[in-house]
Amino acid sequence: MTDATPVDESVPAEPSATPEEVSERVNNRSQRPVSEAFKAFITSRWAPRPDLGVEASTASEYTPARRAGLSARFPGARLVVPAGSLKVRSNDTDYRFRPHSAFAHLTGLGTDEEPDAVLVLHPTASGEGDPDGDGHGTDHHAVLYVRPLAARDTEEFYADSRYGEFWVGARPSLDDVTTLTGIEARHVDELRDALAKDVGEDGVRLLVVTGADESVETLVEAIRTEAGVEQVEDEEATDEQLVEAASELRLVKDEQEIAQLREAVARTIEGFEQVVGSLSRAVAHRRGERVIETTFDAHARLEGNAVGYETIAAAGEHATTLHWTTNDGVVRHGEMVLVDAGVEVDSLYTADITRTLPVDGEFTEVQRRVYTAVLDAADAAFAVARPGTKFRDIHAAAMEVIAARLEEWGLLPDGVTAEVSLSAEGQQHRRWMVHGTSHHLGLDVHDCAQARRELYLDGVLEPGMVFTIEPGLYFKADDLAVPEEYRGMGVRIEDDVLVTADGNENLSAALPRRPEDIEAWMARLRG
Ligand code: GLY
Ligand code: MN
Ligand code: MN
């Protein structure tokens, strides 16, 4: 990583008159030239910027309907949806930027677009019809406030290590943003006045998606305070309700979202194929789990934006730690390895798939027994996943199989049948699967998490919903409630499921999940 300012040893930095405060010493090492000669030279003699050939994104055909959905819930309110800002990883280095999912959904922007941008849905006088001219007659007009590319005669151009073109590359111009998204783009410096316009007791109500950008939330608070309006909880529309609505808007995916999820799944399946190819290297390495992790993650970066969440590469007993992401363990012959991983494509939709693989390519008898129980539980969940089923009943279907199998194996406590265990007062079987069977999937791996319970857990499945089915069984090495042969193994099988008009489609069906299919697939891949 390069020092945060251009180095020119020949031009001494201006000496400080007083010692710097500790908090200001972040650029202590900097030797930025300050001479007028340097400034005049570095800001001159650049060729005209090339036309980047930006075109309208495919998503831009779909985002007007998404914004209209939000608009309809909040007539007359100004809706503020920040992309978020850069987050410090340590000292003066940031994490790679990833916009907030509500912003990505409503603008169609993805990858690292665009730090500090803010989408605002401005209320328009009722009856204005179709202010955006996009065929969606809503009472809001969308404007994207962005930090556009700075001109080459600015200090930002060459000296700003966070935003400058010399440091992080050229950002799109306002025109480029509009072409790409179909949304009017304005300079972020106009945001304050735009948000404050007509806000007041009897004026416009200002609502912000919280949790994305603290500085925008602080700005909204300041505008409310100046206007003498405070956000109170029993108001008919609150920030929380906006967050909830933005989440619920994603419960049913449109065509473009489903296409992106298919793409994410396809890239993820390729990643799993590469993982199988890496297993002999993994066994040979002292941190074999890292071989698996880095194999998958490299594929995710090459073919997508990134991983959608930290890859879980859990060999042997580590598989009983549900979110094992340290991935520093050895991969041993004879054991299984649980790999839970997803490629997030450039639009930021992610897959979320788990396979539990025998390291040597063949399951032992006891591994197969546990694996088959989990597979049967998954199949039972698939069998009920169709329009009209309650979301929570997918889990119930899987748990019936898990409890029955545990009873058959004599693992439930004395006197506890599967039926007793399945009752609300029982639930003993959950010792070996403490997580849920399903979650919605989309831009967030745990998508739609802020949706109301009646639309999520108690919600009814509709065509276009996408979620996981991911039962598991986890027997810890020190679990005295199970016979020794089960100890130290964890199995999870996770697929991504689309609800169709009359049932469901397993989007990840191309990745083998039956034991015999896994064995044949591994044998083929390993030659
Ligand atoms: N990888 C997280 C999950 O399966 O929900
Ligand atoms: Mn999952
Ligand atoms: Mn997962």
Cite the residue boundaries of each domain of the chain with CATH code 3.40.350.10. Answer: 58-248
pLDDT (mean) for 123-130: 66
CA dist 460 and 79 (Å) reads: 28
pTM over 0.85: yes
Cβ atoms of 261 and 503 closer than 8 Å: no
Q: Is the CB of 309 under 6 A from ligand 1?
A: yes
- Whether residue 239 has its Cβ less than 6 Å from ligand 1: no
Pairwise CA distance, residues 99 & 96, whole Å: 10
- pLDDT the model gives residue 132: 59
| 59-69 mean pLDDT | 98
Q: How far is the CA of 494 from the centre of ligand 3 (A)?
A: 6
Instruction: Identify the residue whose tokens are 């032992």.
Output: 364
What's the rounded mean pLDDT across residues 403-430? 98
pLDDT at 7: 44
205: Cβ contacts below 8 Å, ≥ 6 apart: 76, 77, 78, 199, 229, 235, 237
Cα–ligand 2 centroid distance for 177 (angstroms): 33
CA–CA dist 445, 50 (Å, integer): 37
- The C-alpha atoms of residue 76 and residue 512 are separated, in whole angstroms, by 51
* pLDDT confidence band for 90 (50 / 70 / 90): very high
Output the CA 390–ligand 3 centroid distance in Å: 22
> How many Å lie between the centroid of ligand 1 and the Cα of residue 340?
7
Lowest mean pLDDT among 6-10, 74-78, 80-84: 6-10
Question: Is residue 213 in contact with ligand 1, taking CB distance under 6 Å?
Answer: no
Establish whether residue 352 lines the binding site of ligand 1, counting it when its CB lies within 6 angstroms of any ligand atom.
yes
CA of 307 to the centre of ligand 1 (A): 12
Pocket test for ligand 1, best of 374, 434, 439 (most atoms within 8 A of CB): 439
Q: What is the crossing angle of helices 391-408 and 365-384, to 10°?
A: 150
Candidate CATH numbers 3.40.350.10, 3.40.50.300, 3.40.50.10210, 3.40.30.10; the one for domain 58-248? 3.40.350.10
Regarding the beta carbon of 176 and ligand 1, being less than 6 Å apart is answered no
User: pLDDT tens for residues 218-269?
Assistant: 999 999 999 998 766 556 689 999 999 999 999 999 999 999 999 999 999 9
Domain with CATH 3.90.230.10 in the chain: 255-526
**Band of the pLDDT at 162, cuts 50, 70, 90?**
confident
Average pLDDT over residues 431-438: 98
Mean pLDDT of 425-430: 98
Roughly how many angstroms between the first and final C-alpha of the chain, as a whole number? Answer: 41
The SS3 assignment for 523 reads helix
- Residue whose Cα lies nearest atom 4 of ligand 1: it is 352
Task: Report, as an integer, the average pLDDT of 327-331.
Answer: 98
Binned at pLDDT 50, 70 and 90, residue 304 comes out as: very high
Q: Which residue among 311, 433, 445 has the greatest number of ligand 1 atoms within 8 angstroms of its CB, and so is best to mutate? A: 445
Q: What is the pLDDT of residue 202?
A: 83
Which ligand 1 atom is nearest residue 340's CA? 1
Which pLDDT tens digit goes with each residue over 11-45?
Answer: 444 555 566 777 777 666 677 899 999 999 999 99
Residue 435: partners with Cβ closer than 8 Å, 6 or more residues away: 322, 470, 472
Tell me the mean pLDDT in the region 439-455: 98
Counting atoms of ligand 1 from 1, which one is nearest the CA of 309? Answer: 1
How far is CA 98 from its chain centroid?
9
CATH topology of domain 255-526: Creatine Amidinohydrolase (3.90.230)
> Which residues are CB-contacts of 512 (< 8 A; sequence separation ≥ 6)?
355, 518, 520, 521
User: 228 and 200 in contact (C-beta within 8 Å)?
Assistant: yes
